[in-house]
A and B are shown apart, each in its own frame.
Chain A
Amino acid sequence: MPGVDDPKTVTAALDMAGLDALIAALAERGYRVIGPMVADDAVVYDEIASSADLPAGVGDEQDGGRYRLRARGDGALFGYTVAPQGWKRLLHPPRQKMFAARRQDGGFAILPPEPAAAPMAFLGVRACELAAIGIQSRVFGDEAAGDPGYRGRLARSFVVAVECAEAGGTCFCASMGTGPQVEAGFDIRLVELAGHDRHVFLADAGSAKGAEMLSGLNAPPAPEADRAEARRRVSAAAGAMGRTMPAATARRLGEHAEHRRWADIGKRCLSCGNCTMVCPTCFCTTVEDVTDLKGEHAERWRTWDSCFSIDFSYIHGGAIRNEVRSRYRQWITHKLSAWHEQFGTSGCVGCGRCITWCPVGIDITEEVQAIHADGKGR
């Protein structure tokens, strides 16, 4: 896990061989290296072996309910925006076995846990994604009721962040204050400069672990011109985002609980749960017990759940959020408003996934804008 120490190292310039040396060094130290690759018409995060697996020259177009890959016309390896699903599925897996037990002497005995999986190295973590990991580690980091699984996986991980040089179609991280510049929470930060004659990755260490790794790569220091170009690109990306979140209204959605907009959303929303599944901070789970046919062996599983399912609000006697509008309102009000009281931060990092991957393209910023513009429409 990225530490809080500030090693004050010099920015190094890795070439393609240097990037491959980094990937190889991570693998050599026992990390499972996860990075971007093209699969199923998208750039997804999966296990990679070398830079050859990375999506060279691949970009993406994103809009409400629409995602398409495009050829960038250059050789950039990190020229896409964000993958359909973030690092959440690795740190907070969709299905986790809590424990297994077998029947014994009229009671049951807990079976020993399975050995922990190999530590992971994440290559290509965006600023918004680092913010999301930070938020989830706060959610799961509660001293009294934390999630040791999540904390353990994160603590053992190595994070290589890659700063965005362009804004995606549904991005609004600048408006949420989470990006696009990568400032903290990484072991190594890369900025890719993919020019005609020169393809380099400016590398900074963000932790002792990162500094130690970088110094082992023996890369030359980056010239000031490169560093200036990197700064120029990230600030251009920040200015190129087409969406903004009206902060004050977002913070106080609870005051608009009877706004007429909710009924309007209820007609458009499929209540399919996609937004919550792709959201890098949504953390809700359900717990299920399964048994074998004999009833001799039982397992407790924790799986991703969604506040868009009716069962989610089932309490004694029935579900309390039977209408789609009340489920959407619950999700967005928790995410943007109540999250502050609960965790001291917004639950939204502006990655735009809930907009892109909503099958009908409902736009979280547009819904808040509508309530913002028509605050008295209740």
Chain B
Amino acid sequence: MAARAKPKLAVWKFSSCDGCQLTLLDCEDELLAITEEVRISYFLEATRKAEKGPYDVSLVEGSITTPHDIKAIRDVRKNSKVLVSIGACSTAGGIQALRNFASVKDYSRAVYAHPEYLDTLTTSTAISDHVRVDFELRGCPINKHQLLEVLGAFLNGRKPNIPQYSECVECKRNGIVCRMVAKGTPCLGPATQAGCGTLCPGTDRGCYGCFGPAEGANTAALAARLAHLGKDDGEIGRLFRTFNANAEAFRKESQSHG
């Protein structure tokens, strides 16, 4: 078989903590295999060597929070055959989307001595709110196995196996005893997309919703159950308002509490 030209991979950062990019470096055992299959053309967290586009696959981390971001993401889109947004920031606006529910002006004054130097938007939004996205990989941070699955799928021209059903399915498959039923622990699992590998329920904690809303999440019925378990309205609102606060289902639910 003739050697195929290695596809060019770029990794981009917008407003984010870098944790999702780090997931790529965390691949460790698979990292050499990745470099055999793709040419890492742009990945500032790994190497200062930066090649010009166009790129075959761009992984985009972070949310859009400044006017500069809006221009930059359009350039990334223009230079990318496939654009995959990775992580809660790029798929929902991230924790920084809490600004969407508050006054950025008040925050800036409280935090910065000279807020007039800031050039920021009043919202933090997902990449798909600004450009076309070929695939959204959820999570805060993303799961390494899911990232490899998405890369493998795009490299081999197949559909990624990334389910959109609830975290409960993953818990049951992994044999986790339900924290909410067996202990009364508040848990967002029934309304959250699977994919984390049952990190929290597997260590005796409820799900915090890091992977965003599951398909057709019934947040209202879950919120009613959380109230039944003793959570007050403010607590319920805050549970839905974390890393995926601006994902539609969670945003609407949090706005109807507290």
A83 CB to nearest B CB, Å: 9
- Check B258 for interface membership: any CB of A closer than 8 A: no
CA distance A95 to B170 in the complex (A): 11
A270, B218: Cβ atoms closer than 8 Å:
yes
CA distance A309 to B164 in the complex (A): 8
A271, B216: Cβ atoms closer than 8 Å:
yes
Interface residues of B in 214-229 (CB under 8 A from A): 214-218, 220-222, 224-225
B225, A65: Cβ atoms closer than 8 Å:
yes
Which of A40, A94, A295 meets B156, CB within 8 Å?
Answer: A295
A359, B173: Cβ atoms closer than 8 Å:
no
A290, B152: Cβ atoms closer than 8 Å:
yes
CA distance A94 to B171 in the complex (A): 11
Q: Please give, as numbers and ranges, the residues of chain A lying within 8 Å of B148 by CB-CB distance.
A: 293
Q: Please give, as numbers and ranges, the residues of chain B lying within 8 Å of A308 by CB-CB distance.
A: 165
Q: Please give, as numbers and ranges, the residues of chain A lying within 8 Å of B156 by CB-CB distance.
A: 291, 295
B243 CB to nearest A CB, Å: 20
A292, B218: Cβ atoms closer than 8 Å:
no
Q: Please give, as numbers and ranges, the residues of chain A lying within 8 Å of B222 by CB-CB distance.
A: 270, 359-360
A272, B225: Cβ atoms closer than 8 Å:
no
Interface segment among B68-76, B82-90, B118-126, B182-190: the answer is B182-190
Q: With A291-B156, A304-B172 as given contacts, are A357 and B191 in contact (CB-CB < 8 Å)?
A: no
A293, B183: Cβ atoms closer than 8 Å:
no
Q: Which residue of B lies closest to A103 (CB)?
A: B1
B178, A294: Cβ atoms closer than 8 Å:
no
- Check B175 for interface membership: any CB of A closer than 8 A: yes
Name the residue among B149, B189, B214, B221 with the largest chain A CB count within 10 angstroms. Answer: B221
Q: Please give, as numbers and ranges, the residues of chain B lying within 8 Å of A65 by CB-CB distance.
A: 180-181, 225
Which of B151, B158, B182 meets A84, CB within 8 Å?
Answer: B182
Q: With A293-B34, A306-B169, A359-B168 as given contacts, are A85 and B182 in contact (CB-CB < 8 Å)?
A: no
A38 CB to nearest B CB, Å: 11
- Check A41 for interface membership: any CB of B closer than 8 A: yes
A308 CB to nearest B CB, Å: 7
B218, A40: Cβ atoms closer than 8 Å:
no
A305 CB to nearest B CB, Å: 8
A274, B165: Cβ atoms closer than 8 Å:
no
Interface residues of A in 3-43 (CB under 8 A from B): 39-42
Which of B155, B215, B216 meets A295, CB within 8 Å?
Answer: B155
Interface residues of A in 278-296 (CB under 8 A from B): 278, 288-295
Q: With A271-B166, A273-B169, A292-B152 as given contacts, are A359 and B33 in contact (CB-CB < 8 Å)?
A: no
Count residues of A near B (Cβ-Cβ below 8 Å).
Answer: 45
Name the residue among A44, A65, A95, A322 with the largest chain B CB count within 10 angstroms. Answer: A65
Chain B interface mostly helix, strand, loop or mixed? Answer: helix
Q: Please give, as numbers and ranges, the residues of chain B lying within 8 Å of A357 by CB-CB distance.
A: 178, 181
A68, B182: Cβ atoms closer than 8 Å:
yes
A267, B221: Cβ atoms closer than 8 Å:
yes
Q: Please give, as numbers and ranges, the residues of chain A lying within 8 Å of B234 by CB-CB distance.
A: none
- Check A191 for interface membership: any CB of B closer than 8 A: no
CA distance A84 to B152 in the complex (A): 36
- Check A200 for interface membership: any CB of B closer than 8 A: no
- Check B30 for interface membership: any CB of A closer than 8 A: yes
A270, B221: Cβ atoms closer than 8 Å:
yes
Name the residue among A273, A295, A310 with the largest chain B CB count within 10 angstroms. Answer: A273
Q: Please give, as numbers and ranges, the residues of chain B lying within 8 Å of A85 by CB-CB distance.
A: 172, 175
Q: Please give, as numbers and ranges, the residues of chain A lying within 8 Å of B204 by CB-CB distance.
A: 40
B174 CB to nearest A CB, Å: 8
- Check A72 for interface membership: any CB of B closer than 8 A: no
Q: Please give, as numbers and ranges, the residues of chain A lying within 8 Å of B168 by CB-CB distance.
A: 270, 272-274, 277, 359
- Check A207 for interface membership: any CB of B closer than 8 A: no
Q: Please give, as numbers and ranges, the residues of chain A lying within 8 Å of B191 by CB-CB distance.
A: 270, 272
Q: Please give, as numbers and ranges, the residues of chain A lying within 8 Å of B25 by CB-CB distance.
A: none
B158, A40: Cβ atoms closer than 8 Å:
no
Q: Which residue of A lies closest to B202 (CB)?
A: A40
B169, A310: Cβ atoms closer than 8 Å:
no
B222 CB to nearest A CB, Å: 6
- Check B163 for interface membership: any CB of A closer than 8 A: yes
A272, B177: Cβ atoms closer than 8 Å:
no
Mask of A345-374 contacts with B, CB within 8 angstroms, 1/0: 000000000001101100000000000000
B37, A293: Cβ atoms closer than 8 Å:
yes
A128 CB to nearest B CB, Å: 19
B190, A272: Cβ atoms closer than 8 Å:
yes
- Check A324 for interface membership: any CB of B closer than 8 A: yes
- Check A232 for interface membership: any CB of B closer than 8 A: no
- Check B176 for interface membership: any CB of A closer than 8 A: yes
Report 29 cross-chain contacts, Cβ distance below 8 Å, ordered by A residue: A42-B182, A44-B177, A66-B184, A84-B182, A94-B174, A270-B218, A272-B165, A272-B166, A272-B169, A272-B189, A272-B214, A273-B166, A273-B168, A273-B169, A274-B168, A274-B172, A277-B173, A278-B172, A291-B152, A291-B156, A293-B148, A294-B36, A309-B215, A310-B165, A311-B163, A324-B216, A324-B218, A356-B181, A357-B181
Q: Closest 3 A-B residue pairs measured CB to CB? A: A277-B172, A272-B190, A94-B173
